[in-house]
A and B are shown apart, each in its own frame.
Chain A
Amino acid sequence: GQNIDQPTEMTATEGAIVQINCTYQTSGFNGLFWYQQHAGEAPTFLSYNVLDGLEEKGRFSSFLSRSKGYSYLLLKELQMKDSASYLCAVRGRFSGGYNKLIFGAGTRLAVHP
């Protein structure tokens, strides 16, 4: 089966750095995604990792270790607008071999002044 774990809630201060961790167990791993979701809105794509290492995109970076089943999303220079849920999702060669995503429950990040 598949299992994805991430912390339920985190708080941080404006201007600081925060790291959101995600661990997963899955068969046939074929990529890990991070999405941002503001309350009542659709998930918005942030990053994609399929190979080990760090992917940097502006203030956001995402890291993957396939051998450890571990990823993190790093947010730098936090802004109030970064207050949102952050969803970790794994793509695998599940039944039928098609590319559905399995999501974690999300981490609600609150950024305070």
Chain B
Amino acid sequence: DTGVSQDPRHKITKRGQNVTFRCDPISEHNRLYWYRQTLGQGPEFLTYFQNEAQLEKSRLLSDRFSAERPKGSFSTLEIQRTEQGDSAMYLCASSSSGGDTQYFGPGTRLTVL
């Protein structure tokens, strides 16, 4: 299977801890997106990379959040000093340059106790 993969699939942490999630996009895709989804809502855009460049960040992405894509392949999303309000599904998607469709990974479900 060569779809988008994410790790871990589930993460339970205590408030105040730091967490890091990884996304591996479809191999030939140079665009990578992070979204956050809470129960009963659609995904909300967080940030976007084209190759290794982070080209857009949502205002939802507070200074506790940071994302990287150092070699233009996989990406990491780190949340520092987690809060209960950070509990959500974190989705990664990728698309090809000039492609129209974003393909989503299975997501990482974060629970902050």
| Interchain pairs with CB closer than 8 A, number | 56
Residues of A with C-beta under 8 A to B25: none
Q: Which of B77-113 contact A (CB under 8 A)?
A: 91, 95, 100-107, 109
Given A48-B100, A95-B56, A100:B33 Cβ within 8 A? yes
Judge whether B74 is part of the interface by a CB distance below 8 angstroms. Answer: no
The total of chain B residues at the interface (CB under 8 A) is 23
Residues of B with C-beta under 8 A to A33: 101-102
User: Which of A41, A89, A105, A106 meets B106, CB within 8 Å?
Assistant: A41
Is the beta-carbon distance between A87 and B100 smaller than 8 angstroms?
A: no
Is the beta-carbon distance between B40 and A42 smaller than 8 angstroms?
A: no
Closest CB of chain A to B21's CB: distance in Å? Answer: 14
Chain A interface (Cβ < 8 Å from any Cβ of B): 4, 31, 33, 35, 40-45, 48, 50, 87, 89, 91, 95-96, 98-106
